[in-house]
Amino acid sequence: MNTLSTPRTALVTGGSRGLGRDAVLQLARAGWDLVFTFHSRADEAEAVAAEVRALGRRAAALQFDAGDVARFPAFVEALRGALADGIGRPTLDAVVHNAGFGVHASFAETRKADFDALMNVHLKGPFFLTQALLPLLADGARILHVSSGLTRFALPGYAAYATMKGAVEVLTRYLAKELGARGIRVNTLAPGAIETDFGGGAVRDNAQLNAYVASQTALGRVGRPEDIGGAISALLADESGWITGQRIEASGGMFI
């Protein structure tokens, strides 16, 4: 695994469980110090922070609601404190927008409240959090949006969720263009179906669904969190420094 020649710091939203947790740990193994957020389970977050420290890296966990834009200024101030006190460096070298949730409902039955909640967390949140973090981003930093394979293939019940992720993929290209003068590169990583508790853990726990997804995937199995954590680490590495404005799918060849 590639490791950093000099210590760097990444912010990972939604880093206490699922894909975010694995990304935090894989980045720590690659030499990153981590600030990561959690929504409500402080005990889970502290357990992850302890794992990062056991790997010899620095860690800080902050409570954060990715859909509550009005509180972003207060979060940025808390982040400044965490960087100064917990990490010992004043800037961020990477931001991974991973926090999110899913809603499964047909187009005809999608409620406005669910649509708005998805938009706040998956689109409005990353847009305005990145805006608020611009003063803390080091020149040459990386921004990575976690999207979904559902922006390429369509499965009934995910119209609203995939719409938000598709918008984030457009945002990725605009940020890459506008922030490129600072050497900041911006990409999207789009996972396929992964064995996590996302969506109630259906892909992980429903044997019939798991087998169906595996049968439609070129590599013959469903994705695991470490598949995505490894891809995130690779895209933030120096060796990927000439990649920006791109959507990279990590689905094992699902539905090709």
What is the distance between the alpha carbons of residues 110 and 1, in angstroms, rounded to a whole number? 43
Q: How many CB atoms lie within 10 A of CB 115?
A: 17
Distance of CA 193 to the CA centre of its chain: 15
On whether the CB atoms of residues 81 and 66 are closer than 8 A, the answer is: no
pLDDT of residue 77: 98
Catalytic residue among 158, 161, 174, 212: 161
Q: From the CB of residue 256, how many other CB atoms can be counted at a distance below 10 Å?
A: 11
Whole-angstrom distance, CA of residue 44 vs CA of residue 183? 35
Given a cut of 50, the residues of the chain with pLDDT beneath it are none
Q: Could you confirm whether domain 8-250 is CATH 3.40.50.1110?
A: no
* pLDDT value for 206: 80
pLDDT of residue 159: 97
DSSP string spanning 126-173? HHHHHHHHGGGEEEEEEEEEE--GGGTS--TT-HHHHHHHHHHHHHHH
Phi, psi dihedral angles at 90 (to 5 degrees): -90, -10
CA proximity to 79, closest of 133, 6, 27: 133
pLDDT at 1: 53
pTM of the model: 0.95
pLDDT of residue 209: 86
Every domain of the chain and the residues it spans: 8-250
Q: Which residue stretches of the chain are H helix?
A: 18-29, 42-54, 72-82, 112-119, 125-133, 159-179, 202-205, 207-215, 225-236
pLDDT the model gives residue 145: 98
| 158 catalytic residue (yes or no) | no
